[in-house]
A and B are shown apart, each in its own frame.
Chain A
């Protein structure tokens, strides 16, 4: 690109003075002059905290010292060399961990990528733990994450499109999909959504999801966040997209349905009957965690007649000396539970035991002894709290809490009818949601009977011959050869 072309595109031609100005007041920036073939001067510019010094020596300094080649380009022993000509390119290259080389004799500028890899070891997932199956999980290193997926899906049709988001964070984003399998409509929608993003900072994939989701004001996550490469590989194989974001171990999967959030990688490892049973238990737990406490309020406030006599005696005895109405009693206990849950996340891990003692003994036992809460409610709160953790996706668990409070208010006003009205409202909301413009509540609404094989139950793998219809994959059958 010549100077005239650069000016017409609004770009600044690269110069040593401009680079020196750009790197001024940066203690980690280095500008070094070296000599090549004794008479040729070479200027090296880099940011030492972003590059790997050993690779700098191996790939650039030593070859230059040896001076065995006529040109600098031939001398550099790296495949990641590219010529640059503008200040904008130079800035991007320096910030990616490149060394910029200036050859004044030829008036050429080169960038050599020798970034330092600040990577931790591959560890097992902490958010989606499983007993059997692959243990590796993503790290903050984007390239490493791509490798983990590529090793599981060694296909040339597995495409990886790179984008940069964030005007200040310059976060790299990679969208992966299987060409010829994933519906191109999803790819186009996701691509245009990423390109349209105009914001400064993206520190996590959830920030990206917030800009890409179709419904900003919903409590339900519309992108599945996972740090498991096997989950991503499975999603890609059935026709979804995976979006990897730099400097975060969490990838985004889309389009998803509400029911995907209840699926665990272990479902496909267990025997199908066991997996189906566990999946049903998960749905049941989710439902219980939503309605158990509101049901207690509804029954003890409005519908005493629905409680069998023996249970009613227990409840009356338990509540006889309480100063609060069932609603206030439940509300206080739920808020206390949320405080404990939040504290357990924020506290240092070594204080976890203390929290367990305080939460379990002090709050549980003492509130009953002090007459602030009934034993029945303590039991129900405990069941509800444990049940909420059965959902593999933590984001759903948090949404769950908010809905539970809504149901609590409804149950105090309208009893059982209030809970049912709340459920109708939540289902209507779920029915109207979309993920990457695709229905969120499929295969229930829209109704795809065949998709049920992997929703409430996990059918035998060999019978799950087709990819989900609601994902509209270009290759319907999962077998290479139809049987």
Chain B
């Protein structure tokens, strides 16, 4: 079977790519659900506070960015954890990754089904997005990372659509009060957890380091990406509060896209259909880059990372992933009412990976450096 070169390193990426990657990975899917979980105006402070915490976490990520070991890729991981250790870690990482892929794709395709094609079987929608994701992934890691700049330019401007919600007659300033919490419930903690989980994503950049290369000002770029994301979270949440008000916010399943439905334009009504379709850019990109990570991880687990990749292996893993995705859509996603098990799992797993992965890698690097001395 034909050998494939998915993981070639031919391009050098400058710091702006870190900004794009951090920001777009933080704007994936959970951000569209956030308002339903946060509900109360005082959660604005929660977004700011968790954003600041995320910034501290990014300092750890940036320290990992300067590690020569991680830049080496697989060889570096072997030096850090040993061959067997890398296989075990890759295996654990695959479980986290697969849940993230499944929840992102199934969750977003549910939204597409809800807004764009309510009468179509969602499996067809999932299949079409997966096929396109495979096409993008098949172009290789280099091209997929480079694609993020196109994705950013094609999707970033959509945040501008929420500005009309900040002005009367839609906006009512009273909906923004009280800004000081009168009570702090379990739901509030869950909201905080969701914000943290939404901000997860930059930890995956650590496995992209061999492609991103050594960056002199990584913290600056990571911080810009994170700051843009937090600003976008705030804009979306405040717009949702102003539009729905706290009393009705939790009644809406997809508040951000639902409020876009009320925008008028002389050419199109139902701009939400257009926006939901355009957001697919981000989902396809995320799927393809995670898919490449997944296949790379799978090769490490199977002990074949040093052999040239085969098209058969890639295709088999794609088919397997598609089958898993469609089965889970049929068995779990389609039939749930309220928050489903997979979504709940990903909120926890996303928060966990973002909290632990950078510290874990940094500790391992420091330990290795100490041993060398």
Contact = CB atoms under 8 A, between A and B. Distances in A.
- Same assembly: yes
A427 interface: yes
A214 to B, nearest CB: 12
B129 interface: yes
Interface residues of A, number: 27
B284 A432 contact: no
A415 B139 contact: no
Interface in B114-150: 116-117, 125, 128-129, 132, 135-136, 139-140, 143, 146-147, 149-150
B128 A421 contact: yes
Contacts of B281: 420, 424
A463 interface: no
Contacts of B117: 302, 414-415, 417
A308 B149 contact: no
B280 A417 contact: yes
A444 B153 contact: yes
A163 to B, nearest CB: 27
B338 interface: no
Interface residues on B, range: 35 or more
B273 A428 contact: no
A302 B280 CA distance: 18
B112 A417 contact: yes
Nearest to B10: A437
B280 A446 contact: no
A425 interface: yes
B269 A307 contact: yes
A432 B144 CA distance: 9
B148 to A, nearest CB: 8
Given A447-B16, A447-B149, A306 B143 contact: no
Contact of A303 (B139, B150, B153, B270): B270
Contacts of A446: 11, 13-14, 146, 149
A406 to B, nearest CB: 13
Given A417-B116, A417-B277, A428 B147 contact: yes
Contact of A421 (B13, B132, B146, B266): B132
Contacts of B267: 308
Interface in A443-460: 444-447, 449
Nearest to B13: A446
A428 B146 CA distance: 10
A371 to B, nearest CB: 27
Given A303-B270, A308-B267, A424-B281, A447 B128 contact: no
A280 to B, nearest CB: 15
B116 A416 contact: yes
Interface string A293-318: 00000000011011110000000000
A421 B127 CA distance: 12
A414 to B, nearest CB: 6
A13 to B, nearest CB: 50
A441 interface: yes
Interface string A402-433: 00000000000011111111001101100110
A306 B273 contact: yes
A424 B143 CA distance: 13
A303 B284 CA distance: 22
Given A306-B270, A416-B273, A431 B150 contact: yes
A364 interface: no
A444 B278 CA distance: 18
A305 B16 contact: no
Given A424-B132, A444-B149, A447-B149, A308 B139 contact: no
B319 interface: no
B268 interface: yes
A261 B140 CA distance: 26
B274 interface: yes
Contacts of A428: 132, 135-136, 139, 143, 147
Nearest to B17: A447
A302 B116 CA distance: 9
A449 B149 CA distance: 11
B273 A431 contact: no
Interface string B199-218: 00000000000000000000
A431 B132 contact: no
Interface in B137-196: 139-140, 143, 146-147, 149-150, 153-154
B135 to A, nearest CB: 6
B63 to A, nearest CB: 25
Given A421-B280, A441-B150, A446-B13, 15 more contacts: A302-B117, A306-B269, A414-B125, A419-B277, A420-B278, A421-B129, A421-B132, A425-B132, A428-B135, A431-B143, A431-B150, A432-B139, A432-B140, A447-B16, A449-B16
Interface of A: 302-303, 305-308, 414-421, 424-425, 427-428, 431-432, 439, 441, 444-447, 449
Interface of B: 11, 13-14, 16-17, 20, 112, 116-117, 125, 128-129, 132, 135-136, 139-140, 143, 146-147, 149-150, 153-154, 266-270, 273-274, 277-278, 280-281, 284
6 contacts: A302-B117, A306-B274, A420-B278, A424-B281, A428-B132, A431-B150
Nearest 10 interchain pairs by C-beta: A447-B149, A432-B139, A420-B277, A432-B143, A428-B136, A445-B146, A306-B270, A445-B149, A417-B277, A416-B277
